[in-house]
Structure 1
Amino acid sequence: MKITSVLFDSQMGKNWSISRSPTKYDILLLVINGKITYTLGDTVIPLQRGDGLFISAGTMRSAVTDPTDPHQMFSVHFNDSTEIDIPLLAGGDHRFIRTISFDYLKQRFSLLYDCWIGQMPCYEIISKGIMLEILGIVQRELMSKQHPTSKQSLAMHIQQYIVKHYREPIRLSELAQHVDRTPNYISSVFKEVTGRTPVEYLHQVRITSAREMLLNTDMTIKEISDYLGYCDQTYFNYIYKKNIGYPPTSTPKRGMKQAAE
């Protein structure tokens, strides 16, 4: 695999569009805000927050943002030369993805973007590793659609509850009571569908929020730790490094750059 560019479309004007043309590379994108509509061949695909899309090289595509709700999205352009079998990359000219682990994928795309534009030593190797993880997660989520609808619905309800209450202390027993199931059952089903436990997902949501605040606000690490419900900053630092790969003190301030796809 060779990544050619990692882009972040931010603050798109209401007249933003891409003219109809063939794609030069494979593209994987994730919409994080707003709405955008792609036309691939003769197929019209509306996308909104939480939606992903894979477009294979050579596909005729055009796109237009929603003038009333302009989009924000990450996109990665790459050549598929990996020896790893990833069915997503061999499934035709495009594949729509309704993400399950949106917050975590958003974090990984954001980390990939920062790594790519930072161009620190070995950035290409690290970027490739992050991209392979993203592709693996997306492929797993596509495969999880094979799970019974009842299990998908249960996992979604748990996710929604965590996202709404992530700053509060959340116990597994509380989640179980919320969906009227046993703690062991919801933990098993949630991991089966999403690939992680409810507690791991809670930490991921918190750390995603922490990273955004470190990048884009003047809050101190302690203030962020307290805000997110970590009473022990040392533990917060440990969880942050475990999820991001480096400690919060190594997270640089930055303003997301606007990039046209």
Structure 2
Amino acid sequence: MLIQIMSVNFDKNIPNWRTQLEAINYNVLVLVREGKVRYEINGQEVIADSGDVLFIPRSTLRSGENWMGIPHQKHTILFTYEADFETGIPFLDERQFIQFKLFNDQYAYHRCERLYEEIRGGKSFRTMICFGIFQELIGMLARELDKPDLTPSKLKYAEIIKTHLLEHYRQHIEIEQLSKLICRSPNYTTALFREVYGHSPIRYMHQLRMLEACNLLISSDMTIASISQYLGYYDTSYFHRVFKKHTGMSPTDYMQQGAHSDMTKLLS
């Protein structure tokens, strides 16, 4: 394979995190999950915020540290590819530093988590699986960069709706309620959110619930019925249908397969 993954890391609130100023001999893909990170890139200060993606190409003079001394969370993937190799991915082939905002962030974080798990495992075909996950992640980022430019007002409205959903996804939510947040019609609200994030606000709400359901099914002793009610589904059979629609399996099957499940359908 012409692309080689060197390492995959998840920096989670590391006190006094810092990397020295040096010309790196590998490429770095950074996805900031929480907080801010300060970089110096070829002599220029770069502040990366939550939801930002950075591609730092090989030979870049780079240093990094916690912004204002405050810890952060981010995924980093270090990789190499041959200097004369054309990947077909514009931001890789241009070999220039780039920073952009990630819209489909939850799915991207999920793929980083899966890549992090796989690369540290000892199972068969690990290299092939890791390369496949990395290819999907890179392709998804390239697709987001290829979207038509969105106006600042659309991005602002979509972010308001998304923030509300992240904070209240366990509650009963209707489009009319969301439309009032931005003083627009329900139809406009749905179309706007779909244009920015690729799916409707209600679908995103269900996706957030399903992510939490997957976590609770594996890491808690809650019953399926109690998880259903906790996430706002008071009809357990309906919770089963929604879970299978989004994950491709029943809650019981997911509990049995757990972290070994390939959740590519979730948040796609």
Q: Report deviation, 1:252.
A: 4.1
Q: CA 1:71/1:178 → structure 2, altered by over 3 Å: closer, same or farther?
A: closer
Partner of 2:90: 87
Q: Report deviation, 1:122.
A: 2.9
Q: Output the CA distance in 2 between the equivalents of 1:24 and 1:210.
A: 41
Structure 2 gap ranges (5+): 261-268
Q: CA 1:105/1:252 → structure 2, altered by over 3 Å: closer, same or farther?
A: closer
Q: Output the CA distance in 1 between the equivalents of 2:223 and 2:59.
A: 46
Which aligned pairs between 1:145-160 and structure 2 lie closer than 5 A?
146-160=149-163
Q: Report deviation, 1:41.
A: 1.3
Structure 1 gap ranges (5+): 254-261
The answer as to whether partners of 2:39 and 2:46 remain within 8 angstroms in 1 is: yes
Q: Output the CA distance in 2 between the equivalents of 1:249 and 1:237.
A: 15
Aligned partner of 2:142 among 139, 148, 152: 139
Partner of 2:10: 8
Q: CA 1:34/1:182 → structure 2, altered by over 3 Å: closer, same or farther?
A: closer
Q: Report deviation, 1:132.
A: 2.7
SS in 2 for 1:38: strand
The answer as to whether partners of 2:87 and 2:93 remain within 8 angstroms in 1 is: no
User: What TM-score does the superposition give when structure 2 sets the normalisation length?
Assistant: 0.78
The answer as to whether partners of 2:216 and 2:222 remain within 8 angstroms in 1 is: no
Q: Output the CA distance in 2 between the equivalents of 1:198 and 1:236.
A: 15
Q: Output the CA distance in 2 between the equivalents of 1:152 and 1:22.
A: 35
Q: Output the CA distance in 2 between the equivalents of 1:153 and 1:145.
A: 16
The answer as to whether partners of 1:237 and 1:248 remain within 8 angstroms in 2 is: no
Q: Output the CA distance in 1 between the equivalents of 2:78 and 2:26.
A: 6
SS in 2 for 1:147: coil
Q: Output the CA distance in 2 between the equivalents of 1:38 and 1:242.
A: 40
**What letter matches 2:254 in structure 1?**
P
**What letter matches 2:50 in structure 1?**
R
Which aligned pairs between 1:1-261 and structure 2 lie closer than 5 A?
1-14=3-16, 16-66=17-67, 68-80=69-81, 85-144=88-147, 146-213=149-216, 217-220=219-222, 222=224, 223-231=226-234, 232=236, 233-235=239-241, 237-239=243-245, 241-242=247-248, 247-252=254-259
Q: Output the CA distance in 2 between the equivalents of 1:53 and 1:25.
A: 14
Q: Report deviation, 1:103.
A: 2.7
Q: Report deviation, 1:108.
A: 2.3
SS in 1 for 2:33: strand
User: What TM-score does the superposition give when structure 1 sets the normalisation length?
Assistant: 0.80
SS in 2 for 1:118: coil
SS in 1 for 2:45: strand
The higher relative CO (CA closer than 8 Å, separation ≥ 6) is in 1
Partner of 1:258: none
SS in 2 for 1:24: coil
1:10-49 residue CA offsets vs partner (Å, 9 max, x unmatched): 24122x3212222232211112233321112112112233
User: Size of the alignment, in residue pairs?
Assistant: 249
Q: Output the CA distance in 1 between the equivalents of 2:63 and 2:223.
A: 42
Bigger CA radius of gyration: 2
The Cα RMSD (Å) is: 2.9
